[in-house]
Amino acid sequence: MGAVAAALKDSGFVVTGSDENVYPPMSTFLESKGVKLMSGFSPDNLSHKPDLIVVGNAVSRGNEEVEAVLEQKLYYLSLPETLKQFFLRGRHNLVVTGTHGKTTTTSLLAWIFEYAKKEPSFMIGGIPNNLPQGCVIRPSPHFILEGDEYDTAFFDKRSKFIHYMPELVIINNIEFDHADIFDSIDDILLSFSRLVRIVPRNGMIVVNADDINAMSVVATSPAPLVTVGFSPNAAIRIEQVRYTGSSSSFVLGDLGHYELHMLGEFNIRNAAMAIAAAHFYQIPLATIQEAVRFFKGVKRRQEVRGEVNGITVIDDFGHHPSAIKQTFIGLKHMYPGRRIWGIFEPRSNTTRRNIFQKELPDAFSEAYGVFISQIHALQKLKEEDRLNPEKVIADIQAKGIKAYYEPDADAIVSKLAPLTQKNDVIVIFSNGGFGNIHEKLLEAIK
């Protein structure tokens, strides 16, 4: 939503926005663009009678502003409908999907096209370090989109990516997530299978050969397939992986040798998927190799927020157990021999629930020490549906790992700061602002 708001502002529209809470980095980015932000929902936010209201999927009936839109008969669309109606028709749309890695893969793919001087349009659910912002809309024939399986809006329960008119689809992986809208993994597979059905015969699906669920949804695809992965059965196989410091290198089938300034098997696979997609659009391999080497990642993905007294504080958006575990593996390559602390805020609609009660302890098995806060918006869930953070902590302690439950950011900072020592690494997992914990922690350990 924020990325598209900024792009529309750049296109000459007057743009305002409402949200329950606004926080960096997106809030400061939008303010720098001249987008007026209103914290809290109210009919007064519509007093200027906007020509179009773009309704995000985080709001529902009963929201004061939503009710005012309906009562005043104002023109409204979902975000995906807005993109489809105004920007996607007639273009070559490349849609990146999957439970994990969408933002990084979309950012790299957009950067490859940018580096190749294709001047693509793109929409990314984050702020890429190589690009000026998360969404840019140009007259280019190519539009690269992060395709989310989450529902479209309160009035349209289909996955957002169904609206994106894909010519090429990347399927990174498929796991259970979004427990607030999907009842089971089968529901998620059904949604992905619907996406597969609308890829044209002159398009392409790039799929993770190592993921059983991803392979299952493309089994009857009417569009051509390219399988990518570490599996011997992959058409484009990842081989000869090496890690050196903060970089990875690998060979990708017949597509050449690549150097990536990111670590971890999951980041290598993300890069491989983007490379295969760019190759389909005939970008020269030498250009792709250079672009990958110069890629700087995405904010809030293993982003170093500061270093004080030899202690490094890292921000990461990870909230699914698989993503958390892979992040620890990558950080251990990057910071060998150093103590790595993990701090986790159960904030997403799935991790606030008890869906991953058994999986979360294993996700932190590579940590030196762990802190978990009280789940976000506790009162919005029935007690029997909630994650039990104290039980997660007990299960982590049973593995011989230091682990603590604290109610909020301030309590965590107060407890953790005296426990740190030089060369420690602290990674903070949250998909929200988490009480400005990064700055508070840096100040405390100073």
Residue 335 structural domain: 303-445
Looking up residue 383, the CATH number of its domain turns out to be 3.90.190.20
In a domain, 248, yes or no: yes
Going by C-alpha positions, the residue among 168, 142, 143, 127 that lies closest to residue 24 is 127
Q: Phi-psi category of 443—alpha, beta or left, where left has phi over 0 and alpha has psi -120 to 50?
A: alpha
Contact 164, 152 (CB under 8 A): no
| DSSP per position, 236-271 | EEEEEEEEETTEEEEEEGGG-EEEES--SHHHHHHH
Domain shared by 102 and 167, yes or no: yes
Average pLDDT for 279-301: 92
pLDDT reported for residue 91:
96
CA dihedral 298, 249, 292, 330 (to 10 degrees): -10
pLDDT reported for residue 134:
85
How many domains does the structure of the chain reveal? 3
pLDDT reported for residue 41:
96
Domain shared by 312 and 202, yes or no: no
In a domain, 375, yes or no: yes
Domain shared by 113 and 147, yes or no: yes
**Edge-to-edge strand order for the sheet containing 135-136?**
135-136, 121-123, 142-146, 92-97, 168-171, 204-208, 225-229, 236-244, 247-252, 257-260
Domain shared by 188 and 104, yes or no: yes
Looking up residue 15, the CATH number of its domain turns out to be 3.40.50.720
* pLDDT band with cut points at 50, 70 and 90 for residue 49: very high
* pLDDT band with cut points at 50, 70 and 90 for residue 126: confident
Lowest-pLDDT range of 11-15, 94-98, 381-385, 438-442: 381-385
pLDDT reported for residue 322:
85
In a domain, 298, yes or no: no
For the chain, the helix, strand and coil percentages under 3-state DSSP, each to the nearest 5: 35, 25, 40
Domain shared by 272 and 288, yes or no: yes
Q: Is 313 helix (H, G, I), strand (E, B) or coil?
A: strand
pLDDT reported for residue 177:
78
Domain shared by 282 and 146, yes or no: yes
Contact 385, 353 (CB under 8 A): yes
- Which of 74, 101, 125 corresponds to the end of one domain? 74
- Which of 293, 321, 348 corresponds to the end of one domain? 293
Going by C-alpha positions, the residue among 355, 324, 208, 352 that lies closest to residue 270 is 208
- Give Dmax (Cα) for the chain: 61
CA distance 140 to 145: 14
pTM score, whole prediction: 0.78
Give the gyration radius of the chain's Cα atoms: 22
- Which of 52, 74, 96 corresponds to the end of one domain? 74
In a domain, 194, yes or no: yes
Q: Is the peptide bond before 25 cis (omega within 30 degrees of 0)?
A: yes
Average pLDDT for 30-42: 93
Q: Assess whether pLDDT exceeds 80 at residue 178.
A: no
The interaxial angle of helices 437-445 and 409-416, nearest 10 deg, is 20
pLDDT reported for residue 140:
93
Residue 140 CB burial class (10 angstroms; 0-12, 13-18, ≥19): middle
Looking up residue 146, the CATH number of its domain turns out to be 3.40.1190.10
Q: Assess whether pLDDT exceeds 80 at residue 318.
A: no
Q: Assess whether pLDDT exceeds 90 at residue 319.
A: no
CA distance 414 to 433: 18
Amino acid at residue number 92: H
In terms of residues, how long is the chain? Answer: 446
Domain shared by 345 and 196, yes or no: no
Residue 242 CB burial class (10 angstroms; 0-12, 13-18, ≥19): exposed
Average pLDDT for 382-390: 88
Contact 314, 302 (CB under 8 A): yes
What is the average pLDDT score of the chain? Answer: 92
Q: Assess whether pLDDT exceeds 90 at residue 377.
A: no
In a domain, 254, yes or no: yes
Q: Is 384 helix (H, G, I), strand (E, B) or coil?
A: helix
CA dihedral 292, 297, 301, 303 (to 10 degrees): 130
pLDDT reported for residue 326:
84
Domain shared by 232 and 93, yes or no: yes
Domain shared by 288 and 415, yes or no: no
Token look-up 């890069």 returns 271
Token look-up 């743009």 returns 15
In a domain, 86, yes or no: yes
Average pLDDT for 205-225: 96
Q: Is 188 helix (H, G, I), strand (E, B) or coil?
A: helix
Average pLDDT for 93-116: 95
Contact 135, 213 (CB under 8 A): no
Cβ neighbours, 10 Å, residue 138: 16
- Residues near 29 by beta carbon (within 8 Å), at least 6 away in sequence: 2, 6, 127, 133
Domain shared by 188 and 143, yes or no: yes
Domain shared by 68 and 86, yes or no: no
* pLDDT band with cut points at 50, 70 and 90 for residue 157: very high
In a domain, 17, yes or no: yes
Going by C-alpha positions, the residue among 337, 333, 261, 330 that lies closest to residue 292 is 261
- Residues near 190 by beta carbon (within 8 Å), at least 6 away in sequence: none
Going by C-alpha positions, the residue among 287, 430, 267 that lies closest to residue 348 is 430
Domain shared by 360 and 421, yes or no: yes
DSSP 44: G
* pLDDT band with cut points at 50, 70 and 90 for residue 411: very high
Average pLDDT for 249-254: 96
pLDDT single digits (tens) 344-354: 999 887 788 88
Contact 24, 36 (CB under 8 A): no
pLDDT reported for residue 331:
87
